[in-house]
Amino acid sequence: MDQALAEQHQWTILRYSRSNDEDSWVMLTRDGEIVPIPGEKILHTSRPRVSLEITTPRELNIANPYTLKVDNGIAYITNER
């Protein structure tokens, strides 16, 4: 992983770690694993069965319709997020 990108990720997470849940995001490695923030421990990893579907609203006529659906996502529970 690009070192500068990793440092930027850590700085951003530390900066907002005490803010509200809207800033709780995650960075992934190229292999799809989460990049932990300093001191973070993964407490539970689900089996790959979490579903997520993202679709552009029909009312949004300024863009081509877009849909993404994943049925084999993984949920992580950590001590920090």
**What is the structure's pLDDT at 53?**
92
Q: What are phi and psi of 52, to 5 degrees?
A: -145, 135
The amino acid present at 80, given as its one-letter code, is: E
Q: Count the residues in the chain.
A: 81
**What is the structure's pLDDT at 64?**
80
What are the start-end ranges of the E strands in the chain? 42-45, 50-55, 67-73, 76-78
> How many separate domains does the chain show?
1
pLDDT at position 66 over 90: no
5-56 pLDDT per residue, tens: 666 766 666 666 555 555 567 888 898 888 988 899 999 999 999 999 988 8
